[in-house]
Amino acid sequence: MTHPLSMSRRTMLQNALLGAAAFGVPAILAGCSNPADQGAPGAGGTAARGTVSIGSNASDEVPKKSLQTVLQAFTQADVKINTVDHNTFQENINRYLQGAPDDVFTWFAGYRMRFFAEQGLATDISDVWQEIGADYTPAFKQAATGSDGKQYFVPFTYYPWAVFYRKSVWEEKGYEVPETLDEFTALAGRMKSDGLIPIAFADKDGWPAMGTFDIVNLRVNGYDFHISLMAGKESWTDPRVRQVFDTWRGLLEHHQPGANGRTWQEAAQSLQQKKTGMYLLGMFVAQQFPGSDLDDLDFFAFPSINPQFGQESVEAPIDGYMISAKAKNVDGAKQLLKHLASAASQDVATKLDPGTLAASSKADTSGYSALQKRGAELVSQATHISQFLDRDTRPDFASTVMIPALQRFIGEPDDIDALLKDIEAQKANIFR
């Protein structure tokens, strides 16, 4: 099959979360790690080049087990995994990298990867790419490349964002996939009449609502405007941005109430329990669908709003690994990145975590679940691929401005003008 990210015109962007040793305490990562994570020796037992430490934000059960299993096959060194809560990892990445970071750390492609590379906080791994480059499409290499033309990131997995639902519920109720916003709104009203909460929703962790903003902006104003806005080149008081929030406000009545106090896992469980009708989230939502429930999970691309842009854009964040500038075992870390870049490693990961897709073009997709095959097809058909708000913009803007702004909007959706003025004022101070 054609690899989903084979088109070089698709701009890949970036980021997000890592975490931890921070709060000014150099050893915080190790201190927060789970004792069970500490030893992940390779199959050979004895380390060839000492120990490689890896700071991981894979704190949820499924991705955590996936990483541990992948690393068991690494034989060139012993591996010490320091797992930190995903959000803690994200919010403290700057101090972590400036303090006493691990050799390798989990991170995201694109803008934020480039940001840390520019700050001198990441190690150039262009030599690693000389060996692994043939396993990736040009688009993935672009997503791993810094502003200086050097590579700093190894893509591991990716996943599309879409609207997920349970096939059995939709078949029972006779629901059909909406292609336009009007059809989507009408469907939500029908679900409400049927006793379902139409749209599962959560934003306790601050980032999930970014996905809703992104897709509505992509549908209303298109990819180019969205990326320009993320880069600080557009005004948040622009009428086009106001239209995004007006459109979103019109949908909020169909969203699960109390979102600012709910985690994405809890929202996903409401879909799994057939209490809600659909959920806009990344494909990692599959982590909350055990056993046969996973076969009942399906999705559709968010409906068209502006016919000019249709459904041409898909959000598909790329997760992977980097080496910190302060790594103690650089040679061992580079060997580990080669291992993670291998199709065999990514095949293991995507089998254990059904909400992900392999970044390697040599990965074996024949074992993909129906959901994974649909995900790969969705991305392959996209004209434009965005990464996610907190990966497509500056980390300080995403964390200190957009998280509280979107939570404020969810709580006070009628105060749009004041909200956008506040965002623009803060943006002007950050993007100088």
Residue pLDDT, tens place only, 8-22: 323 333 333 333 333
Residue 31 has a pLDDT of 33
Percent of the chain having pLDDT more than 70?
89
Q: Quick one: pLDDT band at residue 143, thresholds 50, 70, 90?
A: confident
Cα-based torsion angle of the residue sequence 345, 362, 145, 386 in order, rounded to the nearest 10 degrees: -90
**Burial of residue 324, with CB atoms counted within 10 A of its CB: 0-12 exposed, 13-18 middle, 19 or more buried:** buried
Counts for the chain of helices (H) and strands (E), in that order: 19, 12
- Which stretch of 46-50, 84-88, 151-155, 178-182 has the lowest confidence by average pLDDT? 46-50
pLDDT(38) > 90? no
| Rounded distance between C-alpha atoms, residue 171 and residue 379, angstroms | 25
pLDDT single digits (tens) 390-424: 989 988 899 999 999 999 999 999 999 999 999 99
Residue 374 has a pLDDT of 93
Q: How many CB atoms lie within 10 A of CB 231?
A: 14
pLDDT(296) > 80? yes
- Which stretch of 133-147, 259-273, 310-324, 403-417 has the lowest confidence by average pLDDT? 133-147
379: tokens are 């991305």
Q: Quick one: pLDDT band at residue 46, thresholds 50, 70, 90?
A: very low
| Rounded distance between C-alpha atoms, residue 129 and residue 78, angstroms | 23
| Rounded distance between C-alpha atoms, residue 416 and residue 246, angstroms | 8
pLDDT(180) > 90? yes
Region 181-188: what's the mean pLDDT? 98
Q: How many CB atoms lie within 10 A of CB 11?
A: 17
Q: Quick one: pLDDT band at residue 270, thresholds 50, 70, 90?
A: very high
- Which stretch of 9-13, 145-149, 239-243, 277-281 has the lowest confidence by average pLDDT? 9-13
| Rounded distance between C-alpha atoms, residue 408 and residue 249, angstroms | 12
pLDDT(347) > 50? yes
Regarding predicted confidence, which is higher, 399 or 175?
175
SS3 79: strand
| Rounded distance between C-alpha atoms, residue 68 and residue 359, angstroms | 18
Mean pLDDT, rounded, of the chain: 88
pLDDT single digits (tens) 326-339: 999 999 999 999 99
Residue 49 has a pLDDT of 67
Number of C-alpha atoms within 13 angstroms, CB side, residue 207?
21
100: tokens are 């006493």
Q: Contact at 8 Å (CB) between 81 and 321?
A: no
| Rounded distance between C-alpha atoms, residue 357 and residue 372, angstroms | 7
pLDDT(25) > 50? no
Residue 355 has a pLDDT of 87
pLDDT(33) > 60? no
| Rounded distance between C-alpha atoms, residue 312 and residue 378, angstroms | 10
